[in-house]
A and B are shown apart, each in its own frame.
Chain A
Amino acid sequence: SAVISQKPSRDICQRGTSLTIQCQVDSQVTMMFWYRQQPGQSLTLIATANQGSEATYESGFVIDKFPISRPNLTFSTLTVSNMSPEDSSIYLCSGENNYGYTFGSGTRLTVV
């Protein structure tokens, strides 16, 4: 099954700055997904990232705030822009494999 390396694993950022999270998959996956998990909550899908096309965002999430790149079938980035304390969450990427979906290790973001 696919293995996803996600970095950074955690970061503490100043409000108003941006952070880019990277996910590298050890095999090609057609679609990658970005989720947010707020403290003590479940996972909420931010967007679906396909290679060569603009990401598809879920209701409540916009490209200006969460720009996504997907330059090839093994890599994707999510940027959290102009951060505020409300953006403090765990961000996870996911890709489909033969056994379902595998997840990156997550990025724990704290905005101060």
Chain B
Amino acid sequence: ELKVEQNPLFLSMQEGKNYTIYCNYSTTSDRLYWYRQDPGKSLESLFVLLSNGAVKQEGRLMASLDTKARLSTLHITAAVHDLSATYFCAASTSTSYGKLTFGQGTILTVHP
């Protein structure tokens, strides 16, 4: 059974600082996803990582995937208040028929 764990679960950052959210998964996964959720809103897709060594960047966010370590990271560079949200990673496997297993979520708060 695929399990996905994120850490930290809560992250309080100052504006301008850098930090990384970690996402570990328990079995071989063929795809790794990152989503953002604002309070009371649905999920916004950030990144889809398909292969070992994949790195994707959008603005101040960069996601990477290490399939050998079963680890994905979401790196935040020079945080700004607008990045405050909950971030989820999710994984799927070739045998899960598209079902996503989500991590617990990381609540990110960026302070001035």
Give CA–CA (A48, B97) in the complex, Å: 9
Q: Of A45, A104, A105, A108, which is within 8 A of B100 by CB?
A: A45
Q: Which of B1-59 contact A (CB under 8 A)?
A: 31, 33, 35, 40-43, 45, 48
Interface size class on chain B is: 20 to 34
**Smallest distance from the beta carbon of A32 to chain B beta carbons, Å?**
9
Instruction: Answer whether residue A61 sits at the interface, using C-beta atoms and an 8 A cutoff.
Output: no
Proximity string of chain A (58-95) to chain B, C-beta cutoff 8 Å, 1 when within and 0 when not: 00000000000000000000000000000000001010
Given A31-B97, A45-B99: A101 and B42 interface contact (C-beta under 8 Å): no
Give CA–CA (A100, B41) in the complex, Å: 19
Contact A42 B45 (CB under 8 A): no
Contact A42 B102 (CB under 8 A): yes
Contact A103 B98 (CB under 8 A): no
Given A48-B97, A48-B98, A101-B33: A42 and B88 interface contact (C-beta under 8 Å): yes
Give CA–CA (A101, B32) in the complex, Å: 11
Instruction: Answer whether residue B93 sits at the interface, using C-beta atoms and an 8 A cutoff.
Output: no
Give CA–CA (A6, B42) in the complex, Å: 10
Classify the interface of chain A: helix, strand, loop or mixed. strand
Give CA–CA (A100, B91) in the complex, Å: 11
Name which of B33, B99, B104 has the most chain A CB atoms within 10 A of its CB. B99
Q: Of A92, A101, A106, which is within 8 A of B45 by CB?
A: A101
Please indicate the chain A residues that have their CB under 8 angstroms from the CB of B102 in the complex. 42-44
Taking Cβ atoms with an 8 Å cutoff, the residues of A that contact B are 6, 31, 33, 41-45, 48, 92, 94, 96, 99-106, 108
Subset of 28 A-B contacts with CB under 8 Å: A6-B42, A31-B97, A31-B98, A33-B99, A33-B100, A41-B104, A42-B104, A42-B105, A43-B88, A43-B90, A43-B100, A43-B102, A44-B102, A45-B99, A45-B101, A48-B98, A92-B43, A94-B100, A99-B45, A99-B48, A100-B45, A101-B98, A102-B45, A103-B35, A103-B43, A104-B42, A105-B42, A106-B42
